[in-house]
A and B are shown apart, each in its own frame.
Chain A
C-alpha cells in the first residue's frame, strides 16, 4: 500500500526524522492560510501516489501568501496521470546546499533488507540507476540482528562528509526502526537535504507498506487511500477478489493469479485484448463469482466474458452454481464462454448443461470461442 507524501512524512516525523514545517491543504484558501502560518517562501506539492509529479507541473514555489493561493489553485486543477489532485502539501522552503538519497527496501534475491544511499539525491533513483549506477551505494542488513553501527558508519562515510555521518546514522537508525516496526516494503527520503548550517532535513518522503503486514497495524488502517485503487478495484477487494482493469474488451474470471495472467496473455496471443485481470482466489463461493460478474458488467466496452477455472481447492460445481445464480440475478446479456476442469468438473458441467450452458475442457479452445463470440 502506497502512502501519500504527507502520510509518509507523518510516520517519519513520529519516528523522529526532521522535516521542514508543512501543512496539508485541500483548497487554494487553505493553502494560502498555510503559507501565511509558515511564512513564505513555500513549496507547494501535489499529493499523488504516482511518480513524475514535478514534470507534470505538480510542484511550485511561492514567494508570497497570494502567490501560494494561486499556485495551489493551479495544482489542484491538474490531473496527473489521469488522477485529479485532491490535496497539496505546503512546506516552508529551506536553503538546500546538497541533495542526498537514503532508502531502505527488501532485496528479494539476497533475501535481506537493503540500505540504498547516494550523493546524487533529488532525482528519480531508477533513472539514476540506469544513468550512473556507480553513484548508488547499497548495504545489506542482517534481518535477524540489530544493525551494527560501525558498519553503518563506514557505509555512510562514503556518502556524507565526516561532519554529517553521526547525524545521518541517527536518522538511518530511526528510519530502520520504522521500516521494521510498521512492516514497510520501502521507506525513502529523497532528497535528504544538507542545509547551510550542516544539518540534515528530509525534503520529501515515500513509504510503501506491505499489504500482508497490515493486519498487525490497525493504527495504519486510516492511511488506506482510495486513489491507489479504481472504484472497480476497490469493489473487487471488498469481495475478496484480485482485479486489475485493462483496456480491452474480453472480460476474464479465473482462479489463481498465474493462470489468470496466462489467460490474458493467450487472449492477446490469439488476437484479442483482455479487459481485465481477475483472480477469484482459492475458495469458490457462488457470491464471489456473482461479485466478479457484477464488476465486469459495468465495463461498457465489454463484448464477451471467459470464465477459466482449474479446480483444485476451488470446486467446479461451486463455480457452476455461482454462474447460474449470477445469471438469474443479473440477467447477463453478454456472450459467456465457460471452461471448467479439475475437481468436480463433471458435476459442474452437468449443472450448467441443465440450464443450456456448455462447459469446455480445453483452454485454447475456450479462448478461441470467446474471441469468436466477441466478433460475430
Chain B
C-alpha cells in the first residue's frame, strides 16, 4: 500500500518537450510509472520516445484517461499550467517548477483547491512509491519498498534521509517532497493524515526546516490525532535570523520559524527529533519496536 500514487496511476507530464520534462518523463517511465502522455502547447501530435504529446491537458485526459500530472513548465507559465490541469479534472498535480511568484501561487492554490485537486509543490522533488511508481525527479535507486512514510520540505536532504533508511533496512511506503516555497499545495498535516490511514505505512519520517509554522502545526496534529510513530529532523539550527537560506520559505523573521521552536514543539508532541539525518533509522526502529511490543 501507499498514498497518492501507485503502479496503476496514469500520469502525464506538462512541459514534456523541454529538457527537464523529457529527461524525467523517460526516467519515470523506466521506473515503472504508467506514463501515458505529455502536454506542450504547439507540439501536439509529436512523440517523445513513444510518449504521445498533446496540445492541451484536456485532450491528454480525454485520450489517455490520465489521473495525475507532473509539471515542468517554466515559472512564468507554471500557474496557468496548474489551473489548466485543475480544469481538466486531474486528481493529483505535482508541480516541480521553482521560482513561482508567491501572490500568483496564493490565488492558484485556492483555485485548484476549489476543484478538489490535490496539489504537491511547487518547488518540490515530487513523490515516489518505491518499486511501483514515481512522479518526480528523485534518484530512484536509493529507495526501497517498505512501510515508512517520508514527508519533507527539502529535496537532497530527503534523499539523504531515504538513503540512510534504505541502508538500515527501512523501506518506504511513499516519499513526498512538499516543496520549499512559502506557499505550497499540500502540507505536512494532510500527508500525516493520509499516512495515518494508510495500512501500508507503520511509521513516518518528517523532515522540516526553519521558516513558517508548518512544523509546529504538524506537532499539534500528531499529538492530537496520530497513532503511528513519527520521527522528525529539522535543518537550519545554525542559520542566522533574517537571511533566506536558499529556499524562499526558509527564513527566520520576527522571531518566528526558529529551529528551537520547532524542536520544542515536536518534543511536546512526543516526537523524537534526530540531531543528524543518519540517526533517523535508529529512532524509527525504536519507536516501531515500542509499538510492536504494545501490540498496535
Q: Determine, out of A32-40, A82-90, A195-203, A265-273, the stretch whose residues face the partner at the interface.
A: A265-273
**Would B246 and A212 count as touching, CB distance under 8 A?**
no
**Does B107 lie within 8 Å of A312, measured CB to CB?**
no
Contact between B153 and A258, CB atoms less than 8 A apart: yes
A213 pairs with B103, CB closer than 8 A: yes
Residues of B within 8 A of A143 (CB): 103, 106-107, 109-110
Binds B, one of A16-24, A65-73, A104-112: A104-112
User: B67 contacts which chain A residues (CB < 8 A)?
Assistant: none
Within 8 Å of chain B (Cβ to Cβ): is A256?
A: yes
Q: Which residues of B contact A254 (CB under 8 A)?
A: 156
Cα-based distance from A269 to B233 in the complex (angstroms): 14
Separation of A144 and B110 alpha carbons in the complex (Å): 8
Interface residues of chain B, those whose CB is within 8 Å of chain A, are: 20, 75-76, 99-104, 106-107, 109-111, 125, 137-139, 142, 152-160, 163, 180, 182-183, 207, 209-210, 212-214, 217, 233, 235-240, 243-250, 254-255, 275-278
Q: State whether A111 and B157 are in contact (beta carbons under 8 Å apart), knowing that A185-B102, A213-B101, A213-B103 are contacts in the complex.
A: no
Given A210-B102, A216-B76, A274-B238, 9 additional A-B pairs, CB 8 A: A106-B106, A212-B102, A216-B101, A244-B239, A258-B155, A261-B239, A261-B245, A261-B246, A312-B155
7 contacts across the A-B interface (CB closer than 8 A) = A109-B214, A213-B102, A257-B209, A262-B157, A312-B138, A313-B137, A364-B276
A341 to B159, CA, bound (A): 10
Task: Give the CA-CA distance A259 to B101 in the complex, in Å.
Answer: 24
Query: Does A343 lie at the interface of the complex (its beta carbon under 8 Å from any beta carbon of B)?
Result: yes
B210 touches A244 (CB 8 A): no
- Inter-subunit contact B254/A258 (CB<8 Å): no
A184 to B182, CA, bound (A): 14
Q: Which 3 pairs from chain A and chain B are nearest by CB?
A: A258-B154, A257-B246, A256-B156
B253 to chain A, nearest CB (A): 9
Interface centre among A108, A126, A259, A341 (most CB of B within 10 A): A108
What is the CA–CA distance of A284 and B290 in the complex, to the nearest angstrom? 43
Name the interface residues of A102-140: CB closer than 8 Å to any CB of B: 106, 108-109, 111-113, 126, 129-130
Beyond A106-B102, A143-B107, A257-B247, whether A310 also contacts B156 by CB under 8 A is yes
Task: Kindly state the separation between the CA atoms of A213 and B245 in the bound complex, as whole angstroms.
Answer: 18
Cβ contact within 8 Å between B75 and A215: yes
Q: How far is the CB of A370 from chain B (nearest CB, A)?
A: 15
Cβ–Cβ < 8 Å partners of A349 in chain B: none
